[in-house]
């Protein structure tokens, strides 16, 4: 269990991650860049950081990757069209990234 993270926060992160793993990737986002961000890579990096955070705390390098991804998803989200549920897909990624960043910040204290 992650130190300094509330049980409701961990439960929410776990639920979001499970939902995300079941959700199909929006097909029109494959091989697509928005504002210089590769949308498949952004998905993979945030999902990977979320998975890494569940069994224990994040190391500094993963936390740095996550913070960059959080900034990237915030930048591109307003530019995503909703074809194939892409907005919901990337909003869930943003929420996961924010929760994982919260975990990293709590552990840094």
Average pLDDT for 24-35: 95
Burial of 65 by CB count in 10 Å (0-12 exposed, 13-18 middle, 19+ buried)?
Answer: middle
Of 67, 64, 63, 73, whose CA–CA distance to 94 is shortest? Answer: 73
Delimit the domains of the chain by residue range: 7-108
Lowest mean pLDDT among 6-15, 53-62, 80-89: 53-62
Average pLDDT for 10-31: 92
Average pLDDT for 83-92: 93
Entry pTM: 0.85
In angstroms and rounded to an integer, the radius of gyration of the C-alpha atoms of the chain is: 14
pLDDT computed for residue 63 by the predictor: 84
């Amino acid at each position: 269990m992650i130190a300094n993270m509330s049980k409701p926060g961990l439960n929410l992160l776990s639920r979001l991650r499970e939902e995300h793993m079941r959700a199909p990737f929006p097909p029109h986002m494959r091989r697509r860049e928005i504002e210089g961000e590769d949308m498949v890579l952004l998905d993979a990096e945030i999902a990977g950081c979320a998975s890494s955070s569940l069994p224990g705390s994040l190391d500094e390098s993963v936390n740095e990757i996550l913070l960059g991804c959080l900034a990237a998803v915030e930048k591109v989200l307003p530019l995503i069209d909703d074809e194939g549920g892409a907005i919901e897909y990337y909003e869930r990624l943003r929420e996961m990234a924010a929760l994982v960043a919260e975990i990293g910040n709590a552990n840094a204290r």
